Amino acid sequence: MRFAIRLLPENESYRVPFNHQHQLQGLIYRRIQRVDPDLSLSLHSPKVPKLFTYSLFMTERRTLERCRPYFLGSGRAYFYFSTAVPSIAEAFIGGILQKPEVELWGEKFVVEEVKAVKEPEKLSGRKFVTLSPIAVTTKRVQFGKPRSYDLGPDEPEFYELIKENLREKYLHIFGTNPPEDFEMKVLNAKSKRFEVKRGIYQVAWHLVFRAKGDEGLLKAGYLAGFGEKNSIGFGMVKVNGRKPEGRRRGGGGNRKGEAS
C-alpha cells in the first residue's frame, strides 16, 4: 500500500533541512500511536521488521542557500509513504486524517490531500528511481576492530546484501520460503551522506536501476523498501516515469491548527 501525502505550508517560503528523515519518522510514529498505541509500541522493538518506508520531503519549488544546512521550499510540499502491512497503513493514514495539522523542524503545514497510489501490475524488468536513497551496510575490520561500513554499488556485496534483505522481507510478508531469482543493474548512482542521529552518519545512494526476477521479491522492495534502514527513511523507489494515481482522501483541517 502506497500513499502520496500533500501538504499546504503556513508560510509562503519555508526551510527544509537536508537531514530531515528522523523528523518524518517521528511524525509517522506519532500518527500511528494516535490510532493504534499497541502497534506503535510493537514497532519500537528492534527485533520486529518494520516493513514500511517513506520518501524524502519534497517541495514544488526549492532554492539552495550557500553554506546552509537546509533549502528553502515554496508552494506545496509532499512525501510518499509505503508499507506491506495494512494495519500500519490504516493507523498512519487514519492518524494523518484525524489530525492534519503538522509541524516539522519548526515549520507548520496542514495535510491537504492523501492519495492512494496504484501499484504497478508488473515490476520485473522495469526501471526504478529512488525516492529516498538506498543504504547498505556491513562490518569491516578497521584498526583491529569490526566497524560499520557503508557499501556502494561498485562493490559486489552491495547487491548480495540487497538480495538477502529482500528475501528476509519476503519471508515476513508472505510467510513462505523466499525465492532466489533477483538481479539488479545500476544505471546511474550518486552518493549522499546523511546524519541519521546526532553524530551518526550514513552514506546512501540515489540510484536509477533496472531489476528483474521474482515478482514477490520485487514487490517486497517496492512496498517496504530496498536495502536497510527503511523505517528511518531509506530505500523507497518508484517505477520510472510512473505518476501517482488513485483514490484521494481529503485532509481538511485549519491551517492555523495545533502542531503535531
pLDDT tens for 194-210 read 988 888 889 999 999 99
- Report if residue 199 sits inside a domain: yes
pLDDT for 147 equals 86
Residue 108: pLDDT band by 50, 70, 90 thresholds?
A: very high
The catalytic residues are: 29, 44
Grid coordinates representing 169? 522481507
Is 220 found in the same domain as 136? yes
Is 165 found in the same domain as 99? no
pTM, rounded to two decimals: 0.89
Per the rule left: phi > 0, alpha: psi between -120 and 50, beta: everything else, 174 is: alpha
Is 41 found in the same domain as 143? no
Strand-pairing partners, residue 130, are 237
pLDDT reading at 253 higher than 90: no
Residue 198 has, within 13 A of its CA and on its CB side, a CA count of 0
- Report if residue 131 sits inside a domain: yes
pLDDT reading at 154 higher than 70: yes
Instruction: State how many domains the chain has.
Output: 2
Q: What is the pLDDT of residues 124-142, one digit of tens each?
A: 999 999 999 999 999 887 7
Tell me, what amino acid is at 198? R
Is 145 found in the same domain as 64? no
pLDDT for 259 equals 38
Grid coordinates representing 81? 509513504
Is 152 found in the same domain as 88? no
- Report if residue 179 sits inside a domain: yes
Residue 148 is part of which domain span?
Answer: 127-225
- Report if residue 235 sits inside a domain: no
Residue 243: pLDDT band by 50, 70, 90 thresholds?
A: low
pLDDT for 257 equals 37
Question: 3-state SS string over 53-82?
Answer: EECCCEEEEEEECCCCCEEEEEEEEEEEEE
Is 105 found in the same domain as 169? no
pLDDT reading at 162 higher than 60: yes
